[in-house]
């Protein structure tokens, strides 16, 4: 049913404006592109009328009114820039600045200020905060103007809380705009903040209880997002994309999964929708939920408060609960008529094949082994990734139209192009084991860890002695050690170069291995392997350092610390390397010879029945209630991106970068700024002749779209000030916009 929205006609500064009935004047002005300054108003919040800076004059009314609280009336005639209005705004701003440091706001040298030393010798507690140059209050102050007789700021010495996780609270910088209180109460529904009036009449925002945690704060930092000063500011102040800083879980995810979104859906008991969100970027969520190295959790901001969210387990939970709802949401495919070959059926190959298929291409995956899955199938033990879990996800990819051919060894990928494929993707991963490069490595009984895991996972019988040494400190080494125990080895010991803190394996995996009986030796390398035809042990040596002064892997050992170690088998898991022979023109490597062979089952080779019992999945998942409780702990950091930006004063009027406008520029000293099509600064330069320099830029084919200039005899000083101001705000200098060849 259509709803008729009636409009009313009003006039703002001589401009006729048609707006919806019921709008406030401030809203109406925004819709018409007319700026009215304000500090308490925000597009996402109800009016507060706290600052008074949005005052306007209405024809026929004796008193000024606040635009944020006054609704439009047909025929209303509004004036926003009369002398009376401008003076009133300065008075209201003066009342605010009386309780806020403002020495920097009135300083003529602030744009070139280093922020570390004050040329006017202003006390540090009377200066502005670190947000100077990127502060909403500063921008509004510049627009409204400060009265000449504004008194000196007297520090209130109010508390500054720097020990909070994620953000800093500085009561000295609060202007009582109430934005934080309103967004916490009205948008987030938390109500952890309140307004407190002090003895001197100053109003500031404070937590309900002395501690934020006791006030119910959820540390979502929505309050920080709307604060117009430095009273609430993020602790993380490094330069970069805002998404990378505030959503480190998502930016840290190699697949860029929308983690906050699916975690929120789990908390809302929308499990099918959460699974669909994950599948927007990865087609193997159940497998990843078990074996992903979860950098998202390492970066989770909740970890700064107590414990990071168990993001990986939540992914596993919804994928295990999958009933196929996501398939119903898939859009129909328009076939492209193109054929693509994917060499390798590991996680990269399967993922690429799935999304290429969703683009309408006919995709064939070519796998050298008899079963698809790559390292997921051959390199990860079944107790971590059950075979049926992987098989189900591979089948789902096939059901979506991907053809998988197994037992196909591709010798030269370029030959596939001659067979009719329009494109070939080589996704063979790192299937080859790295070498120790020590004497005796070629002896029987020295087994690459990857080969060992591959044979076990493919069901081949592998015989080990009672005493097994595993060389390496990564996750593959830990898997190798735990599998060796499951095959009947009674004594399994790991030797790694790193100390416990440097060890690359996941701490939880190392802990599980220890509980199962694996002994871990830290800071131990291998000097040589001993034995005649078969290895009987090795000579260990203590490690002085693993990395050099440049942070590169370059182990150094301590001569004279060698010790003999006895072992029936030595499993080497020190890294992997790529198989490049499939690439045309690549250096061909010989086929690696197997240094061991299968033997008949015996006492050191347990039966299949006992073996299968030991390879049951060891990692426990979450049930429905555990998952919802865990997801509810998420800070929902992404909600900040749903908050509208505050309306700022209009930037200087930019001139189109063309010959006509440049011809009107005076030929005097000054500084010009060039802007791109997004109105971002490209260049800042001082010159002895503004017009000539701009004409030269135009003739040279500069990509600039807009420009501004200012006349300034001391143009080198002014250029330095503007560059310093840009550097402080953006953390880098303007790009320049030129594509000059430096060489």
Better-predicted residue by pLDDT, 732 or 652: 732
* CATH number, domain containing residue 129: 3.10.20.740
Q: How confident is the model at residue 593 (pLDDT cuts 50, 70, 90)?
A: very low
Cα dist from 668 to 255, 671, 702, 715, 716, whole Å: 54, 10, 21, 10, 13
Mean pLDDT of all residues in the chain?
88
Q: Which helix (H) or strand (E) holds 629?
A: helix 624-632
Say how far apart CA 487 and CA 507 lie, in whole Å: 23
Q: What is the pLDDT of residue 584?
A: 60
Q: Does 629 map to a domain?
A: no
Q: Verify that 546 and 682 share a domain, yes or no.
A: no
- What's the token pair of residue 473? 């400190």
Q: What is the pLDDT of residue 184?
A: 96
The vertex-667 CA angle with 664 and 669, nearest 5°, equals 125
Q: Which helix (H) or strand (E) holds 660?
A: helix 659-663
Q: How confident is the model at residue 601 (pLDDT cuts 50, 70, 90)?
A: very low
- What's the token pair of residue 441? 């490595």
Q: How confident is the model at residue 42 (pLDDT cuts 50, 70, 90)?
A: very high
Q: What is the pLDDT of residue 550?
A: 86
Q: Verify that 571 and 439 share a domain, yes or no.
A: yes
For residues 660, 662, 664, 668, the Cα torsion angle rounded to the nearest 10 degrees is: -160
In order, the DSSP letters of 439-497 are: TTTTSBTEEEHHHHHHHHHTT------SEEEEE--SHHHHHHHHHHHHTT-SEEEEE-S
Q: Does 239 map to a domain?
A: no
Q: What is the pLDDT of residue 553?
A: 85
Q: What is the pLDDT of residue 115?
A: 66
Strands 77-79, 55-58: pairing is antiparallel
Q: How confident is the model at residue 378 (pLDDT cuts 50, 70, 90)?
A: very high
Average pLDDT over residues 446-469: 93
Query: Which phi and psi angles does 604 have, rounded to 5°?
Result: -90, 0
Q: What is the pLDDT of residue 430?
A: 83
With pLDDT > 90 as the criterion, what percentage of the chain qualifies?
68
Say how far apart CA 55 and CA 57 lie, in whole Å: 7
**Is the pLDDT confidence value at 678 over 90?**
no
**Is the pLDDT confidence value at 413 over 60?**
yes
Q: Does 19 map to a domain?
A: yes
Q: Give the domain extent around 667.
A: 655-730
In sequence order, the 6+-apart residues with CB closer than 8 A to the CB of 623 are none
Cα dist from 363 to 314, 351, 569, whole Å: 31, 12, 43
Q: Does 381 map to a domain?
A: no
Say how far apart CA 221 and CA 219 lie, in whole Å: 5
- What's the token pair of residue 726? 């840009």
Condensed to tens digits (0 to 9), the pLDDT of residues 98-118 reads: 999 888 888 877 766 766 777
**Is the pLDDT confidence value at 600 over 80?**
no
- What's the token pair of residue 301? 């901001």
Q: Does 699 map to a domain?
A: yes
The separation between the first and the last C-alpha atoms of the chain, rounded to the nearest angstrom, is: 66
Condensed to tens digits (0 to 9), the pLDDT of residues 479-499 reads: 999 999 999 999 999 999 999
Q: Verify that 559 and 668 share a domain, yes or no.
A: no
**Is the pLDDT confidence value at 729 over 80?**
no
* CATH number, domain containing residue 660: 3.40.1440.10
- What's the token pair of residue 72? 């439009």
Q: What is the pLDDT of residue 720?
A: 87
Range from 162-176, 574-588, 675-689 carrying the lowest mean pLDDT = 574-588
Range from 69-83, 513-527, 579-593 carrying the lowest mean pLDDT = 579-593
Strands 446-448, 563-566: pairing is unpaired
Residue that has been written with the tokens 């070629």 in this structure: 442
The domain boundary, picked from 560, 577, 594, lies at 577
Number of folded domains in the chain?
Answer: 3
Q: Verify that 565 and 445 share a domain, yes or no.
A: yes
**Is the pLDDT confidence value at 712 over 60?**
yes
Say how far apart CA 663 and CA 665 lie, in whole Å: 6
Q: Does 293 map to a domain?
A: no
Better-predicted residue by pLDDT, 128 or 54: 54
Average pLDDT over residues 721-737: 76
Condensed to tens digits (0 to 9), the pLDDT of residues 200-257 reads: 889 999 999 988 989 999 999 999 999 999 999 998 767 678 888 899 999 999 999 9
**Is the pLDDT confidence value at 192 over 70?**
yes
Say how far apart CA 654 and CA 677 lie, in whole Å: 11
Condensed to tens digits (0 to 9), the pLDDT of residues 605-661 reads: 333 333 333 566 666 788 899 999 999 999 999 999 999 999 999 876 688 899 999
Range from 12-21, 185-194, 720-729 carrying the lowest mean pLDDT = 720-729
Q: Verify that 23 and 112 share a domain, yes or no.
A: yes
Q: Does 678 map to a domain?
A: yes
pTM exceeding 0.85: no
The domain boundary, picked from 515, 546, 577, lies at 577
- What's the token pair of residue 565? 């170690």
Q: What is the pLDDT of residue 582?
A: 67
Q: Verify that 566 and 672 share a domain, yes or no.
A: no
* Chain centroid offset of residue 28 CA: 37
CB burial class (10 A; 0-12, 13-18, 19+) of residue 455?
middle
Q: Does 221 map to a domain?
A: no
Q: How confident is the model at residue 311 (pLDDT cuts 50, 70, 90)?
A: very high
The domain boundary, picked from 95, 123, 144, lies at 144
* CATH number, domain containing residue 546: 3.50.50.60
Condensed to tens digits (0 to 9), the pLDDT of residues 252-305 reads: 999 999 999 999 999 999 999 999 999 999 999 999 999 998 999 999 999 999
Q: Verify that 573 and 660 share a domain, yes or no.
A: no
Q: What is the pLDDT of residue 152?
A: 87
3-state secondary structure 487-521: CCCCEEEEECCCCCCCCCCCHHHHHHHHHHCCEEE
Q: What is the pLDDT of residue 617?
A: 65
């Amino acid at each position: 049913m259509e709803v008729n929205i009636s409009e009313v006609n009003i006039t703002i500064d001589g401009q006729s404006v048609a707006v919806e009935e019921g709008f406030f004047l401030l809203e109406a002005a925004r819709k018409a592109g007319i700026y009215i300054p304000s500090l308490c108003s925000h597009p996402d919040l109800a009016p507060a009328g706290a600052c008074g800076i949005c005052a306007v004059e209405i024809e026929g009314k004796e008193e000024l009114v606040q635009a944020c609280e006054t609704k439009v009336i047909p025929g209303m005639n509004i004036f926003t820039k009369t002398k009376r209005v401008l003076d009133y705004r300065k008075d209201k701003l003066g009342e605010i600045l009386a309780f806020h440091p403002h020495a920097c706001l009135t300083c003529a040298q602030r744009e070139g200020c280093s922020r570390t030393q004050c040329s006017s010798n202003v006390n540090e507690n009377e200066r502005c905060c670190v947000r100077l140059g990127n502060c909403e209050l500063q921008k509004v102050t510049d627009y409204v103007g400060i009265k000449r007789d504004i008194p000196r700021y007297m520090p209130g010495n109010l508390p500054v809380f720097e020990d909070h996780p994620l953000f800093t609270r500085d009561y000295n910088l609060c202007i009582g705009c109430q934005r934080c209180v309103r967004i916490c109460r009205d948008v987030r529904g938390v109500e952890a903040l309140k307004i407190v009036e002090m003895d001197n009449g100053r109003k500031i925002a404070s937590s309900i209880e002395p501690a934020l945690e006791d006030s119910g704060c959820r540390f979502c930092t929505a309050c920080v997002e709307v604060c117009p000063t430095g009273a609430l500011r993020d602790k993380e102040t490094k330069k970069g994309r805002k998404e990378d800083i505030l959503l480190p879980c998502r930016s840290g995810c190699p697949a860029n999964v929308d983690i906050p979104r699916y975690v929120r859906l789990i908390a809302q008991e929308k499990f099918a929708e959460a699974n669909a969100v994950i599948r927007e970027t990865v087609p193997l969520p159940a497998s990843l939920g078990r074996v992903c190295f979860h950098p998202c959790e390492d970066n989770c901001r909740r970890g700064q408060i107590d414990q990071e969210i168990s993001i990986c387990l939540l992914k596993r939970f919804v994928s295990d609960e999958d009933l196929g709802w996501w398939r119903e949401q898939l859009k129909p495919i328009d076939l492209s008529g193109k054929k693509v070959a994917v060499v390798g059926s590991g996680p990269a190959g399967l993922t690429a094949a799935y999304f290429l298929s969703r683009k309408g291409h006919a995709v064939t995956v070519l796998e050298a082994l008899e079963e698809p899955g790559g390292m997921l199938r051959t390199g990860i033990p079944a107790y971590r990734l059950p075979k049926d879990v992987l098989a189900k996800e591979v089948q789902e990819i096939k059901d979506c139209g991907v053809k998988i051919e197994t037992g196909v060894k591709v010798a030269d990928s370029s030959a596939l192009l001659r067979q009719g494929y329009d494109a070939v993707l080589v996704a063979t991963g790192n299937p080859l084991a790295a070498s120790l490069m020590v004497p005796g490595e070629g002896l029987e009984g020295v087994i690459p860890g990857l080969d060992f895991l591959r044979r076990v996972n493919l069901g081949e019988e592998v015989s080990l002695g009672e005493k097994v040494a595993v060389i390496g400190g990564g996750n593959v080494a830990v898997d190798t050690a735990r599998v060796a125990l499951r095959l009947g080895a009674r004594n399994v010991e790991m030797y790694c170069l790193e100390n416990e803190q440097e060890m690359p394996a996941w701490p939880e995996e190392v802990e599980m291995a220890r509980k199962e009986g694996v002994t871990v030796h830290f800071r131990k390398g291998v000097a040589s392997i001993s034995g005649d035809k078969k290895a009987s042990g090795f000579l260990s040596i203590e490690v002085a350092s693993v990395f050099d002064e440049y942070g590169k892997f370059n182990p150094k050992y301590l001569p004279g610390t060698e010790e003999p170690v006895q072992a029936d088998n030595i499993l080497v898991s020190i890294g992997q390397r790529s198989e490049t022979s499939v690439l045309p023109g690549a250096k061909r490597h010989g086929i690696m010879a197997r240094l061991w062979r299968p033997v008949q089952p015996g006492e050191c080779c347990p039966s299949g029945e006992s073996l299968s019992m030991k390879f049951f999945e060891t990692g426990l998942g979450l049930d429905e209630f555990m998952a919802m409780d865990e997801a509810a702990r998420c800070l929902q950091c992404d909600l900040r991106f749903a908050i509208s930006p505050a309306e700022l004063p209009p930037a200087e009027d930019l001139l189109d970068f063309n010959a006509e406008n440049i011809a009107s520029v005076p030929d005097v000293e000054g500084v010009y700024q060039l802007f791109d099509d997004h109105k971002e600064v490209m260049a800042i330069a001082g010159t002895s002749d503004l017009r000539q320099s701009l004409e030269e830029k135009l003739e040279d084919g500069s990509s600039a779209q807009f420009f501004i200039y200012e006349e300034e005899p001391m143009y080198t000083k002014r250029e330095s000030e503007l560059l310093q101001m840009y550097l402080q705000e953006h953390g880098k200098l303007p790009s320049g916009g030129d594509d000059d060849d430096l060489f």
